[in-house]
Structure 1
């Protein structure tokens, strides 16, 4: 995008230079060599400017379209109970919603903190959880469910690697092209803080 602006500025400088040269020669013909660039008709100039503008707009639209077509995901985290076959368990729920122009191939989920360079990779063992890797088309959802041992592992991570600070934790969803980050739900952070 910046190169298109630079190209437009360069073209404008060249046109202004030629206009200045022509004005200088026509206003002071005695002290200069008799050379006036052939400007052509006004219609030719409008056609040239219009064509250049059309090329610039086309390149800009192509760049916008390319960015819109990138895979994007929205991440929602929640803390709650899961009841399977009359058995209630405490779980962390991570919903990954594909909202980009291309399918998102989700390959992993991890937790990171600005207080350390290390991350905790999350693996779900709950049978009703979505298996990874998961290819999500537009509007499709992957629900990952993590049991109580995951909270314990996160509490150990916060205590040993983050100095007990759990308020800045982020969840990271890895896809084949990009990583997406989202803050963790306060309910999860409170549960981690209880176990630190």
Structure 2
């Protein structure tokens, strides 16, 4: 169960306990008021309050331990900041697609491949080749290390074909994925990149 779901459950239990505590106190004081025996009921009620507070404290301790465990898990996991941009490169200075990545986790990231995926498709497009100026795959990225993956010239036509043949012609929800041995990190295609793809397709048609 994820930390987010655990937090919801613990908060719900805490709210239920507080509601039951409030109900018990209200019943106790209501009974004492009717019977005119406030002192005889007040001290037992305070004892019950102490037990409830101890229970809430135990829940808070569980909450804290789970939070610390989740933070430790995050510290020991891969964390990569991924960016997907248009760049220009000499000598022709034409627009190119490039993926930039920075490792921010304590655990080194073993990056295996790049792929393009869309929620409108059941398959992903594997980015097979990279420009010679690019960082090479696979690559191990310890904390603080970065890499730049420059996609080859003409890959726009392959992406447009992928969209046409596997995504029902829909460019929405396209994303680039950086795949490691433990997971994937992705970033959506920006409006500028989508415009670049459409322009490349129009230029090819003309």
What TM-score do you get using the length of structure 1 for normalisation? 0.69
Task: Give the CA RMSD over aligned residues.
Answer: 4.0
Distance 2:168 2:33 in 1: 77
Unaligned regions of 5+ residues in structure 1, if any?
none
2:196 pairs with 1:191: no
- Kindly state the Cα deviation for residue 122 of structure 1 after the two structures are TM-superposed: 0.5
Contact 1:90 1:148 in 2 (8 A): no
CA distance in 1, matches of 2:168, 2:20: 60
Larger strand proportion of the pair: 1
Q: Given the alignment, which residue of 62, 68, 73 partners 2:68?
A: 62
Q: Is the CA contact (8 Å cut-off) linking 1:154 and 1:192 kept in structure 2? A: no
> Quick check: 2:28–2:45 contact (8 Å CA) kept in 1?
no
Q: How does 1:9-158 map to 2 (within 5 A)?
A: 9-29=15-35, 38-39=44-45, 48=54, 51-52=57-58, 55=61, 58-59=64-65, 61-62=67-68, 65-66=71-72, 69=75, 70-82=77-89, 91-100=96-105, 102-158=107-163
Give me the whole-angstrom Cα distance separating, in 2, the residues matched to 1:73 and 1:192.
31
Q: 1:26 to 1:154 in 2, by over 3 A?
A: same
Determine if contact 1:113/1:170 at 8 Å carries over to the other structure. Answer: yes
Residue segments in structure 2 that go unaligned for 5+ positions in a row:
1-6
Does structure 1 retain, via aligned residues, the 8 Å contact 2:130–2:149? Answer: no
Tell me how far apart the structure 1 counterparts of residues 47 and 108 of structure 2 sit (CA, whole Å).
Answer: 51
Q: TM-score, normalised by structure 2?
A: 0.67
Contact 1:108–1:122 (CA<8 Å) still a contact in 2? yes
Higher helix share: 2
Does the 8 Å CA contact 1:107/1:175 hold for their aligned counterparts? yes
Deviations 1:154-187 (A, max 9, x none): 2322333345444653212223343333233525
